[in-house]
Structure 1
Amino acid sequence: MTVRAILESKGRYIYSVEPDERLSAAVKTLSERRIGAVLVMRGTRLDGILSERDIVKVLADRGAAALDDPVHAVMTRDVVSCAQNDTVGEIMEVMTSQKFRHLPVLDGDDRVVGLISIGDIVKWRLREYEHEQQALHDYIKSA
């Protein structure tokens, strides 16, 4: 199964913030949307990603004063991404080995076309498992 199939199933909507936006505003977006990361974008260009881990780290280091910082001071700049044709197995490997929970999906022109989370993968795998179980059950019933 590919990233494209997951995006078609879950949708391609992306939550993003501007690099100069205050961290407190980005935290509010994460809370209101009940998401674990937002892409940091200047127009259509991906500048970074801001995750809950980034926020926890800066709050542990600097305290609540960090909430007044711009997002670009806190975000992860070296963003690992994936492509729509990547398989679920490939992105699971990347997420596991590099300890990421979110991967932006880029097209051939490096435009962001989606965001895949570990939760999306788990939901997809559970759905696959349920279909396999049902097919096996139906096979046994018909034998």
Structure 2
Amino acid sequence: MDVNTILSIKGRSVATIEPDRTLGEAAKLLSEKRIGALLVSSGKEPVTGIISERDIVRAISAHGPGSLEQPLARFMTEKVVTCNGRTAIVDIMAVMTEGKFRHIPVIENGAVAGIISIGDVVKHRLAEIEAETQAIKDYIATA
């Protein structure tokens, strides 16, 4: 299984925000969309950075509530790990586990093609396990 399999089910919509917006604006957008991360894009590159709920919590913890009025570019992750649609799910799981992050943008032909979250990966993997379990039960029942 690959990333395209997940994207074909969940869709390719990606929420973005400009780097000069405030951390508070990013928090509000995350809450409104009920998501865990936003891609940061200045329009010059497909991905300038990523800002997650964790980044916001760390910023407030380190710099206080005033950080919500600061440009989010100050707190975003700039070195963003990306993948493409052909990346295997097992590779995504390994990268997320090793890097201790929960979101990976999908880049195809120099443009954002989607985003994969750890929740997407877990949901997909559980569906696979359920299908395998049912196949084994069906096999045993016919044996």
TM-score in terms of structure 1 length: 0.95
Deviation, structure 1 residue 128: 0.3
Answer yes or no: is 1:137 the counterpart of 2:137.
Answer: yes
Shift of 1:45: 2.5
Q: How many angstroms apart in 2 are the aligned matches of 1:142 and 1:51?
A: 49
Query: Structure 2: where are the runs of 5+ without partners?
Result: none
Supply the distance in 1 between the matched residues of 2:35 and 2:140 (Cα, whole angstroms). 41
- Mean alpha-carbon deviation: is it higher for 44-53 or for 62-71? 44-53
* Residue deviations 1:38-71 (CA, integer Å, cap 9, x gap): 1001236210000111111110111110000111
Question: Which position in structure 2 is the counterpart of 1:60?
Answer: 61
Structure 1 residue 10 displacement after superposition: 0.8
Superposition pairs for residues 1-143 of structure 1, below 5 Å? Answer: 1-43=1-43, 45-107=46-108, 109-143=109-143
Aligned sequence identity (%): 49
Rounded Cα–Cα distance in structure 2 between residues aligned with 1:98 and 1:79: 11
Structure-2 separation of matches of 1:82 and 1:110: 11
Q: Deviations over 1:99-133 (max 9, x none)?
A: 111000011x3211000000000000000011111
Mapped partners of 2:112, 2:72: distance in 1: 19
Q: Distance in 1 between matches of 2:25 and 2:4?
A: 31
Partner of 1:45: helix, strand, or coil? Answer: coil
After the TM superposition, list the runs of 4 or more consecutive aligned residues in structure 1 that deviate by more than 6 angstroms. none
2:26 counterpart SS class: helix
Aligned residues: 142
Q: Tell me the C-alpha RMSD between the 2 structures.
A: 1.0
Q: Distance in 2 between matches of 1:91 and 1:82?
A: 8
